[in-house]
Amino acid sequence: MLSFFKRFVNYNEREITRLQKIVDQINLLDDKAKALKDADFPAETKSLQESIRSGEKKLDEVLPWSFALVREAGRRVNNMRHYDVQLMAGVALHEGKVVEQKTGEGKTLTATTALYLNALAGKGAHLVTVNDYLARRDAGWMGSIFHFLGMTTSAMISGASLLYDPEFTDADAHDPRLIHLRTVTRKEAYAADITYGINSEFGFDYLRDNMAQQLSGVVQRGFTFAIVDEADSVLIDEARTPHIISAPYEQDTSKYFEYAKIVKQLSPETDYIIDEKLRTAHLTEPGIEKIEKMLGIENIYEKDFEMVFHIEAALKAEVLFKKDKEYIVRGSEVVIVDEFTGRLLEGRRFSEGLHQAIEAKENVAIQRESRTLATVSLQNYFRMYEKLAGMTGTAATEAEEFSKIYKTEVLVMPTHRDMVRIDHPDMIYKTEAAKFNAVVEDIAEQYKKGRPVLVGTTAIDKNEHLSHLLKKRGIPHELLNAKNHEREASIIAQAGKKNAITVATNMAGRGVDIILGGDLKTENIKTDAQRKKAQAEWQKEHEIVTELGGLYVIGTERHESRRIDNQLRGRAGRQCDAGETRFYVSLEDDVMRIFGGEQISSMMTMLKFPEDQPLSHSMVSRAIEQAQIKVEGFHFDSRKHVVEYDDVLNKQREILYKMRHSILFGVEQDIDAFNTTVQQTIDEQIASMGASFFALQESDPEMQDQFSVDVATLFNLDPKKLKSLIEGRDQESFTKYIEENVAKQLEEKKKTVGPEIWNQVIRSMFLSSIDQYWTQHLTAIEDLREGINLRGYAQMDPLVEYKNEAFKLFEKLLDSIRYEAIRRMMYVEITMNPHGDEHEGHNHAHYNYNETPKKSLAEQVQPKAVKPVKAEKKASSPSVSEPSAEAKKKLGRNDLCPCGSGKKWKKCHFPNMP
Ligand code: ADP
Ligand code: MG
């Protein structure tokens, strides 16, 4: 069997031949495009759009002509005519492939063809960049081409959105590419035909959209086509970083103490019902009335739905959780005691507000924490696109990963002109000190000649160490390791000038090109004569630097991944420029120490060499590369493993967001789907409660009373009537009775306010229930994830256990949402504003409705959404499954059977079982 790599090479050759044939077709249309007048281009676009949107033609059929148009537009507008290899790469991007095109080959221009073609369908085409600067630069730069073609272009950056508008001039912009960008709203930016944007903003907008309470708050319009620039950096290195939107847990902690006081005044049985076995605590109708009186409010549900939830948590804390049994108090901290092992679960907290309730009960400070409102990894965000493409200077070494995780093929494009860069074999030293001395010597020598040098280091401390050594030698240099993208870009842009010495960490994913002789400075140029002069000066410097051998790249260490080394090398020798690269390594380097193994060190002893003498031998270079391949494989495996964990929550998010979507969009756009979701929720709840009732009747008749009260409480019904139906063992009439009564109650509410407002009220109650529990679910899953490897599952695969547990939590989540949404629907009271009567009909503006949270989730969000790099191994303890959540649902098939056998209900006294 051929190796993955060998197969990949064969495949690549065939693909290039195939793509060349398509480019031949495009070339045939060249004259036709050249013959068009400038004004004809938008009209051509329009007719293409019509043929695509009407379904008359497919994208592939109009590809050659579209590409020919874009190429001609590029030539006329920016004086850049797509090379054949750029068209080839454009076709591959359109096909959803990851394209490797060396640095400086012109990926920015390459992407325009595929973006234009895919934007014809009218659903938006996205180009994803690694930083704000590149999003602006590329939108401004390529925006002129799209504008010429009759398409709009936007840029989405942190905290702002811009639209390319040639009528607009930004006086502050000194880069000509940034001049025509006008500020617009997020929604307008997404409405553009083509959107350039930083990767994290796409992710955050997705999360924010899924927290919107109103349709108008949604800004994105689907995930049709995206090209990810610097794809390896975004889709592999950064892919797993979760994007998190969080909010402080509870700003006002005083209410926990208030609730703790309240529950002390309630009496068991009359005011609340507890169930020790199920560890639930529920308020009864009289209990609620009592609390309303104590607080001086009329309707507890009307004031704040979360209040009932918190009071019930306080109740559980009071009666079900005992100090020194379920938890201990140490100083001012409440620490959980593991119910199985009796060990302290350091740093862990009970979920669903219970921990805070216990803290209030014990009168210690409530620990504020930020809660995750929404989270998605870039990887999962990008996997939502119908078609995903990528481009980068270095993808080939990662072909297997792209194919397995993103199901995209990698294609390596030939360079436009032949490469003349010289890559020297590695220089190997015994010690790190000797290595750095040699590096400084090499730099000093180049500096004397005036040749520009780019030095790559793997970490900030090494980077600063080298800078220190250079300072001692009196060699001026630029140091690059901070995250200032604008400045970073300008440093790199000038790194090709005579005498420029640049010391940088990790060059991957920077997206700025090093031009020999530096960037042509255009800021102060006013006249043609000035331009000519500047151009001539640049040309002279360019030639001098070329004469000196072009850019000289020094690597001071081999990175763990060959790809990162290739990124660094790739900075030299762009577009047939002269250039040289060399890596310096020492036996003390991490890669060598950790992964080099016996092979290298025995080679070293065999080849015996002194401390300060380098060794340069292709055999050693090969051995190093082997070590790197080993590390890459190791990392790939661990990423693959992590993806399997991520997939679990990702599926759940998809399901939940879909449900949320049907509720959010339903009222305006699909009322049938909306009504179905609401009705189903009610039906499912009745059915599941009914099922548990009629099973329990046989095994545990004492629970009948409690359940009839519970059902009556939820649906606002008469418990006596329910009791008699249970006793009669007539599930059918039980169900019918609830259904009819619920429908009647809801019908009345609807009549009072009119269907329009009623639907909006339902929508907001559903959304707030979904959001509240989803947020809690995220925390629970986080805890589960952290704890799963620490659990002692003898012989069990933690992933399988994780999946099972996560599935249970998700079922619980859906149950809780259902229960809560219904409870809110049954108890909400809507009072019409009396002034509203002056107007005819029920105007939206004229109702008093107090259920919605004062602030929507999106508004509560901290302005700075955090993007933490999560430590993989946090010292943490097993997750604590939250017993109280049982309160929100009645018995499910997977719960323990109430008969006390310790078996699952479905395997024991479940009614349908033999
Ligand atoms: P990459 O992203 O592949 O590293 P860029 O898109 O930054 O490269 O482009 C590098 C340089 O090549 C830019 O200065 C651009 O103007 C130039 N360039 C790209 N394509 C062409 C072309 N077809 N004709 C002329 N110049 C081009
Ligand atoms: Mg680029």
Report the C-alpha gap between 769 and 305 in whole angstroms: 9
80 Cβ closer than 6 Å to some ligand 1 atom: yes
Residue 654 confidence (pLDDT): 93
CB-count exposure of residue 680 (10 Å: 0-12, 13-18, 19+): exposed
Report yes or no: 314 and 281 within 8 Å, Cβ to Cβ: no
In single-letter form, the type of residue at position 606 comes to M
Cβ-contact 317, 357 below 8 angstroms = yes
- Is the CB of residue 141 below 6 angstroms from any atom belonging to ligand 1? no
Residue 199 amino acid letter: N
**Ligand 1 near 103 CB (within 6 A):** yes
Question: Helix crossing, 798-827 with 703-715: angle to 10°?
Answer: 60
What is the C-alpha to C-alpha distance for residues 567 and 127, in angstroms, rounded to an integer?
Answer: 21
Beta bridge partners of 345: 336
* Phi-psi region at 813: left, alpha or beta (left = phi > 0; alpha = psi -120 to 50): alpha
The overall longest dimension of the chain from CA atoms, in Å, is 101
| The two three-digit tokens of residue 561, written as one number | 């991944």
| Ligand with the closest atom to the CA of 142 | 1
Give the whole-angstrom CA distance, residue 311 versus residue 772.
16
Angle at 698 between CA 696 and CA 701, to 5 degrees: 70
Indicate whether residue 538 lines ligand 1 (CB < 6 A).
no
Strands (E), 430-534: 453-457, 478-480, 501-505
Ligand 1 neighbour 230 (Cβ under 6 A): no
How would you write 769-812 as a 3-class SS string?
HHHHHHHHHHHHHHHHHHHHCCCCCCCCCHHHHHHHHHHHHHHH
What single-letter DSSP state applies at residue 184? E
- Cα–ligand 2 centroid distance for 389 (angstroms): 15
In this structure, the residue with its CA closest to atom 12 of ligand 1 is 106
Which residue's alpha carbon is nearest to atom 25 within ligand 1?
A: 80
108 lines ligand 1 (CB under 6 A): yes
Centre of ligand 1 to C-alpha 593, Å, is 40
**Who's near 389: CB < 8 A, 6+ residues apart?**
92, 93, 94, 95, 96, 97, 98, 99, 114, 225, 226, 227, 228, 408
Nearest residue CA, atom 23 of ligand 1? 82
- Angle of helix 59-78 relative to helix 132-149, nearest 10 degrees, comes to 100
User: Which amino acid residue places its CA nearest to atom 22 of ligand 1?
Assistant: 80
Query: Is the CB of residue 327 less than 8 Å from the CB of residue 273?
Result: no
Reduce the DSSP state of residue 819 to 3 states and report it: helix
Contact 647, 405 (CB under 8 A): no
Q: d(Cα 373, Cα 370) in Å, to the nearest integer? A: 9
Q: For residue 73, report the distance from its CA to the centre of ligand 1, in Å.
A: 15
Residue pair 140/178 in contact (Cβ under 8 Å)? The answer is: yes
Phi, psi angle pair for 194, to nearest 5°: -130, 130
Which ligand 1 atom is at minimum distance from the Cα of 107?
3
57, 63 contact by CB (below 8 A): no
* Per-residue pLDDT at 789: 59
Quote the pLDDT of residue 400.
Answer: 87
d(CA 57, CA 66): 13
Tell me if 106 CB under 6 Å of ligand 1.
Answer: yes
Residue 419, classified by CB atoms within 10 Å of its CB into exposed (0-12), middle (13-18) or buried (19+), is: middle
**Which atom of ligand 1 lies at the shortest distance from residue 83's CA?**
23
Q: Which atom of ligand 1 is nearest to the CA of 103?
A: 4
Q: Residue 464 corresponds to which amino acid?
A: E
Ligand nearest to the backbone CA of 106: 1
The 10 Å Cβ neighbour count of residue 902 is: 8
Does the beta carbon of 81 sit less than 6 angstroms from any atom of ligand 1? Answer: yes
CA of residue 245 to ligand 1 center, whole Å: 37
pLDDT at site 853? 35
Q: CA-CA distance, 722 to 711, in Å (whole number)?
A: 8
Ligand 1 lined by 513 (C-beta under 6 Å): yes
Q: How far is the CA of 105 from the centre of ligand 1 (A)?
A: 6
Q: How far apart are CA 316 and CA 314, in angstroms?
A: 5
pLDDT of residue 118: 98
**Ligand 1: which of 26, 67, 88, 108 to mutate, judged by most atoms within 8 Å of the beta carbon?**
108
Side chain identity at residue 664, one-letter code: L
Ligand 1 neighbourhood includes 760 CB (under 6 angstroms):
no
The alpha carbon of 156 and the centre of ligand 2 are apart by a number of angstroms equal to: 17
Q: Give the three-class secondary structure for 192.
A: coil
Total H helices, total E strands in the chain: 32, 25
d(CA 161, CA 170): 14
Q: Whose CA is nearest to atom 13 of ligand 1?
A: 106
Cα torsion for 293, 295, 296, 301, to the nearest 10°? -90
pLDDT score for 611: 67
Q: 3-state secondary structure string, 314-376?
A: HHHHHHCCCECCCEEEECCEEEEECCCCCCEECCCCCCCCHHHHHHHHCCCCCCCCEEEEEEE
Which atom of ligand 1 is least distant from the CA of 80? 24
H-helix or E-strand containing 592?
none
pLDDT at 431: 85
562 CA → ligand 1 middle, Å = 25
Q: Do 439 and 554 contact (CB within 8 A), yes or no?
A: yes
Q: Ligand 1, residues 232, 513, 538: which to mutate, most atoms within 8 A of Cβ?
A: 513
Give the residue carrying structure tokens 């006294």: 909
Candidate of 67, 80, 391 to mutate for ligand 1, largest count of ligand atoms within 8 Å of Cβ: 80
Using CA positions, which residue lies closest to atom 17 of ligand 1?
106
Ligand 1 neighbour 519 (Cβ under 6 A): no
Q: Length of the chain, please?
A: 914
In the three-class reduction of DSSP (H, G, I as helix; E, B as strand; rest coil), residue 268 is classed as strand
Give the position, in ligand 1's atom list, of the atom nearest the Cα of 81: 23
Would you tell me how many other CB atoms lie within 10 Å of the CB of residue 854? 8
Ligand 1, atom 24: closest residue by C-alpha = 80
End-to-end CA distance of the chain: 54
* CB of 570 shorter than 6 A to ligand 1: no
Question: In this structure, how many other beta carbons lie within 10 angstroms of the beta carbon of residue 440?
Answer: 17
pLDDT digits (tens, 9 = 90+) for 857-904: 333 333 222 233 332 322 222 222 222 233 223 344 455 544 444 555
For ligand 2, a single-atom ion, which residues have Cβ within 5 Å? 107, 511
Nearest to 511 by CA among 867, 192, 226, 127: 127
> Ligand 1 atom closest to Cα of 74?
23
And the tokens for 17?
Answer: 């031949």
Helix (H, G, I), strand (E, B) or coil at 878: coil
Report how far ligand 2's centroid is from the alpha carbon of 413 (Å). 15
Q: Which of 231, 234, 157, 168 is nearest to 195 (CA)?
A: 157
- Residue of minimum CA distance from atom 19 in ligand 1: 106
Q: Kindly identify the ligand whose nearest atom is closest to the C-alpha of 577.
A: 1
Alpha carbons 649 and 825: distance in angstroms, whole number? 29
Strands 272-275 and 280-283: antiparallel
CA 513 to ligand 1 center in whole angstroms: 8
d(CA 382, CA 889): 35
Q: Which two tokens stand for residue 911?
A: 């009614």
The CA–CA distances, whole Å, from 771 to 243, 766, 767, 774 equal 17, 9, 6, 5
Alpha-carbon span 189 to 154, nearest angstrom:
5
For the CA of 515, the nearest atom of ligand 1: 14
Ligand 1 near 82 CB (within 6 A): yes
From CA 568, how far away is CA 421, in angstroms rounded?
13
Question: What pLDDT, in 10s, does the model give residues 225-243?
Answer: 999 999 988 888 777 667 7
- By C-alpha distance, which of 348, 93, 357 is closest to 231? 93
Ligand 1, atom nearest to 102 Cα? 3
For ligand 1, whether the C-beta of 85 sits within 6 Å is no
Residues 6+ apart with CB under 8 A from 537: none
Identify which ligand lies nearest to the alpha carbon of 89.
1
SS3 call for 12: helix
Q: Which residues of the chain have pLDDT under 70?
A: 1-2, 240-241, 248-251, 277-278, 302-305, 338-343, 346-348, 368-370, 481-487, 506-512, 522-523, 595-601, 604-611, 693, 695-703, 786-796, 831-914
Cα 835 from chain centroid (whole Å): 46
Distance CA 316, CA 887 (A): 10
User: Residue 176 is inside which H or E element, if any?
Assistant: none
Closest alpha carbon to 773 in 734, 811, 731: 811
477-484 own/partner pairs: CB under 8 Å, 24+ apart: 477/501, 477/502, 477/503, 478/502, 478/503, 479/503, 479/504, 480/504, 480/505, 481/505
Residue type, 571: R
Q: Whose CA is nearest to atom 18 of ligand 1?
A: 106
> What is the sign, positive or negative, of the torsion defined by CA atoms of 361, 362, 368, 371?
negative
Q: Measured from the CB, is residue 83 less than 6 Å from ligand 1?
A: yes
